[in-house]
Structure 1
Amino acid sequence: MTKTAPDAAPLLKEIFNRARLEHFANETTAIHPGFDGERFLTLASDGLDNLSIMQRLRQIAVSFHATLPGPYEKNIEIIWALAPRINHGFASITLPEYVALYGHDDFDLSMRALAYFTRFGSSEFAIRHFLQKDQARTLEVMETWSRDDNEHVRRLASEGCRPRLPWSFQLKPLIADPSPVAKILENLRSDPAHYVRKSVANHLNDITKDHPDWVLQKIAGWDQTNAHSAWIIRQALRTLIKKGDARALHVLGAGHKAEVKVNNFSVTPSELKLGGAVKIAAQLISTATSPQKLVVDYAVHYVKKAGGTSNKVFKWKEITLDAGVDLELSISRAIRDFTTRVHYPGRHAVELIVNGEVLAEGAFEILA
């Protein structure tokens, strides 16, 4: 039996634990005294330990439907009042999930509800069910959201129609053709809220995986002297930059061959056990006669279980380096297992990449 360390972080799914369910029941009863809180708790907690976070979220929404008085319009009125009383932002996502499950026959009310609920957590998962059923009609509403005064509603306009949103199903029609979301992204291209800009950048980065030309064409007309737009562009092109895409590097002003000499590229220690860390360091010396834009990344070729390798590129530094100037770089990387990556013994190559070109190589070995 595997035991959890006493100081380990609680599992994310524990956002929806027994105490949270009791909170839902108590607050709903305070709003609607006829609410059967005991039955809600019985239904919502059924098999709870074995459910993932998204399964718990959905089970709570289903349990609300089984215990609220109905019809849908009346239930929305109750959970509308419940939204500001929920004591955790992510926990409130169960309310838009209720709309996603039961609100398709009242589109207008459901759209108003999702725009309201997103202010307390997010309606990004729920809106996708409406996009899947009627993309054109739903995107028409989302375009109006992209011009809303509330930043949470504006963010929903972008985040909800991301073609490859994590933790949700892919929107295949928008993967095939992203043009229906162009107006939404254009409206948000210089949004004052970082929260919104991050979503727009992630949305565009999603699209670059299938339609890089479309993204490069769209952002070509954006004003890079606007700091907000420039930030979105840099983040949106990150996957292309990591691939050394010359067009993306050109957009960032780094499409030229780097005029630098690399001194003392090092990866230390040369051997380590899982749980340690490697330090990657380099000195870049400009050999140019004028300032030059440099995009510096590094790649680690991780050993796979079967013995091959798979490279992962990491962002390191973006800088304008003056003529003849030295740039000292150093970064430490933990070598420990994550849910997204397991490390295996063997030689791991490390590459220094400047403006898309590998300029130096090193390695470290993970010991068995």
Structure 2
Amino acid sequence: MNAIRLHAFGPAENLTYETVPAPVPAPGQVRIAVAAAGVHLLDTALREGVQGPAPALPDLPTIPGREVAGTVDALGPGTDPAWLGRPVVAHLGFAPGGYAEYAVTDADRLHAIPPGLDPAQAVAMIGTGRTALGILQFADLGPGSTALVPAAAGGIGTLLVQYARNAGATVIALAGGPAKTALAAANGAHLALDYTAPGWADTARAAYPGGATVLFDSVGGDPARTALGLLAPGALHLVFGWSAGPLELTDAERAGLTARSITTRNVLGPAMLAAVGAPDPLRVLETRALAEAAAGRLRPAVQRHPLAGAAAAHRALESRATTGKVVLEP
């Protein structure tokens, strides 16, 4: 089969398109003929040799990728034969192997792809979608609330904008450049601003002088610092990323947030899982995400690249030249 392999940690150019033996499913596993494989920012960190939230760096050489969708084409011993031939999507956890024409995983990780979703959309919801719904557990959105969404044209941001609008909230979307702000507006944002342009914060403040009640912060850095100034007293600052670097506040800035009763919460990891309140919280979130997309309430944006173009996909993701979820298609 054709696959992307990484032989040494480093730049995107280290991702090479090779021919390797197809994997064989072990007991309780299936093999998926991959139609779409998700690309995640964590993939780029692991490629560089940065462990991040992963429990360990992968052994080299490795086939990256942790989200796949396609058709079950082979079963391991003892696996339910009803899975054979079915369109499925699965998050592989921290096991690599997704950037390939075939991937194996445990059968208990599988979800049937709901009617109406193609494999790329299913991949977007199994990872990015579950994270978006996990974040939204911490925000009570509805009429009277105002959501401020940086990175609003990204995979998670797109879904947050749609969800907030569906809930009746006012949505202020921030994105980089005219094309991305247009996408955010098309997804339902009441106000879509280019945060790389001067004066964007003044425009937001003039349009909504009461301020935002929740900031969905996946960006950090200077954009987050400016966005914090647009929050209403008592607002929530929900943190789930730092693509522009860490948010380093001065003592005076922290005191100002305290005086305005701004609550900051990091909503990734244990906090998100505990909020689900179920024995298998990730599977619960995956099921919810797929159901929201199947019902048409959430529409994942997908940017497709050929499998052989994995290096270009990584470069685009790292340079913020992407919209929606980045997906590789063999």
Provide the TM-score with structure 1 as the length reference: 0.24
The structure with more helix, counted as a fraction of residues? 1
The structure with the largest strand share of the pair is 2
**Length-normalised TM-score, structure 2:** 0.26
Higher relative contact order (CA 8 A, sep 6+): 2
